[in-house]
Amino acid sequence: MVSFVHCAGGMRQARLIPLLIVRFLLAGGSAWAASEESVPRVDSEAELRALYEDGVLSEEAFETLRELLRTGVDPRTATREELYALPGLTWAQVDALLEHRERTGRRVEPEALVEAGVLTVEQLRRLRPFLVEEGAERSVSGRLRLLTAYAAMDGEAPPMLLHARLEGPSGWRGGGVTTLTRRRLGMVRYEPRSGALSAEPPGLGMHLPKLYVRWEGERASVLVGSYRLGFAQRLTLDTTGRPAPDGFVPDEEFLSPGMPERRCPLSGGGESCLSFGSEGRVTPDFRWTEGFRGVAGTVRGQVEGVALSLTGFGSYQSRGLNQYELFDRALCADPRSSSRACRAPDVLALRTGETASDGARFLSRSLPDVLRELAGGGHLTVGFSPRAKVGVTGWGAWPVWAVEGVALDFQEHARYPEGGGFGAVGVDAAWGTGPVDLFFEGARSFDGIAGRGGGFGALQRTVLGDGWRELEVVLRYYGRDFANPYTRAVSSADEFEGLRARNELGARVRYLHRTEDEAWRLSGTVDVWTQPPGGAAPGTVQARASARVDAVVMEEFQPSLWVEHRDKDLGRDGRGLCFEGSEGTRPGGEPIPCAGARYLLGGRVRWEPDEALVVVVQYQHALVDSREHPEGFQRDGRAVLDVRLRPSSSLRVHGRASWQDEDLSERTRLTQMLRASLEVAWEVLSELGVRARYEWVLDLKAPEGARTPPELAWHLFRLELEGRF
């Protein structure tokens, strides 16, 4: 890997210093494991989101842990792959837990895992919110959550969401999500006279985006409704987000309202916005992801000691798309052309009975239900032992456009490939013995893009470790034409034509080391990647490196320190480069990516004198290449104060304040923001809980001279009621 970095040439020694620091830490036994993120103890989704906003969790880890917090993992029945999704567990600890489960006849008491040396006391405290523990036997049990959010400036009905889950006898389960929306557009149509699309303006509406029923038996399981699924190394097919998916899971995913959005969704404003009331901003709706919807089933068995597992699925899902992801194929043969005819069609705001001349245009909106996707496929696994198996995956999807009168298709920067149907097939293998686990998956994608037709991808992962140390090495190759919208394989954050795992050749090393008493925990990662031959920018080598140290100086005092370096072109150095956006355009109009770097140093102190009080203070400082600072760096700062109180077993209070400044030298260009929140959670009864949250956001940009005027102060109230039976 060192020679891989060196081949870029032309880099100065100063650019190597952060990488050398991380290599030194790695040599001393630091970094993190595949499923490992430094996750302090959390009890709610709000606390998880705070860790994500602070940079403690990656976006992928946040999404995965949020889903695990909602559904829970049952250590009595969970598979090896399901247990590995829990934060902080190495493969060796997962195998030790499975051995303990076999010895005890599937009676897994959390405290017994500590006594057996499988987990430490601190690990158990962190994992407990994610575990489904054995309780009183009930023939029927369930959970209902009602969530709403409201800002004083809204002036309309607040968004609402009801999340329900039910567990019945004999392995039956069910659940669903229904929501009240106010900002979702109405039905989309085509206007032949103007050559544009049109949609009904947003209004109140009820939607049922998630609904499922599942039965699970010893040898088979089936689900009807909304689901997500994935296999192996997530290369051929994965929509779960879990680090080691192995089958299907119910889809109950939803997103709570975030920062306020522009009240008027139309371009231009003025008279066209009068029907939306006053100008300003409004609280957005609850949103949801659109996974698969249909039937999925798994059958398991054994033949002469060989375990067989066959999973099949079929889906017919309506999908919403952003208007800028579309073009009219009747007017444009190739969306990569700079022709005006290849631009995304306008979307007019037209009510029933209005003509095109009456309508204003929507600005960057999601168009609901414009695509109906028919998809299906399956996965076959042949297992020779819990750690040795091979598998085959195949799937296909066919888009059916719901808007009549126009030949819609996907733009080149959309997530889905244009040209009709698409899919992928792949093979995978896993083998492990002692401290070593080896994983491999190779895939071939298929699509209807003219002159392409699909491409190849491959990923190999090696894991070496025990309960306290784990080293992971990932090698990956994704071809330029590997257009697979349902892969979540390891990749950089860069996108090529709408996809991350595409047009990339790279290597990533992670390593975790912690002492048996959990007094020290050191972790780090080094990731280097480039474009394979024939890519969009051949020869550009990028890198990301980070290291983190967590210590328990005393039981009540836990400091953390981390560093991170991100370089978008190891072959270029010097001041005057940019890190965000692009540095210009090529002759054909294609943007030239920035080639700058970013250096970050952060620290965090957690003080916990007892279980009733936790205080966290954090600060991180970043140096960023920017054309606004040709002789130096842009300096960013972020500080957080977090206080959690637990006056009684049924009452919790969480206060938080954060300050962010993206350029400390001025107040007119980027984000300067102060945010504060106060959350109170009260367990009224053992079966009833209430959670109320108030958030306040203040824009600190200067009122004069700013490129965009500062926003008004934002006040948001959230309320959640939860009932269990």
Residue-wise pLDDT tens digits, 137-163: 568 889 999 999 998 888 888 999 999
Rounded Cα distance between 75 and 93, Å, is 13
DSSP string, 172-223: EEEEEEEEEESS----EEEETTTTEEEEPPP--EEEEEEEEEEEE-SSEEEE
Residue 537 has a pLDDT of 52
Query: What's this model's pTM, rounded to 2 decimal places?
Result: 0.87
Vertex 448 angle, CA 444 and 449, to 5°: 95
Rounded Cα distance between 501 and 279, Å, is 40
Q: For residue 682, which phi and psi values (nearest 5 degrees)?
A: -130, 120
Burial state string for 59-82 with b = 16 or more CB within 10 A and e = fewer than 16: eebbbbbbbbbbeebebeebebbb
Residue 87 has a pLDDT of 83
Nearest of 300, 292, 282, 470 to residue 381 by alpha carbon: 300
Contact 528, 475 (CB under 8 A): no
Q: Based on the number of CB atoms within 10 Å of its own CB, is 581 exposed (0-12), middle (13-18) or buried (19 or more)?
A: exposed
Residue 359 has a pLDDT of 65
Nearest of 331, 326, 349 to residue 412 by alpha carbon: 326
Residue 113 has a pLDDT of 83
Neighbours of 477 (CB within 10 A): 15
Nearest of 235, 189, 237, 391 to residue 310 by alpha carbon: 391
Sites in the chain below the pLDDT cut of 70: 1-40, 55, 106, 133-138, 268-272, 275, 277-279, 352-359, 534-538, 588-589
Residue 9 has a pLDDT of 38
Q: Which position has the token pair 């200067």?
A: 702
Residue 203 has a pLDDT of 86
Distances from the Cα of 548 to the Cα of 55, 366, 605, 685, angstroms: 12, 39, 13, 41
Residue 427 has a pLDDT of 98
State both tokens at 278. 């006053």
Q: What is the dihedral of CA 9, 14, 15, 21, to 10 degrees?
A: 120
Residue 33 has a pLDDT of 32
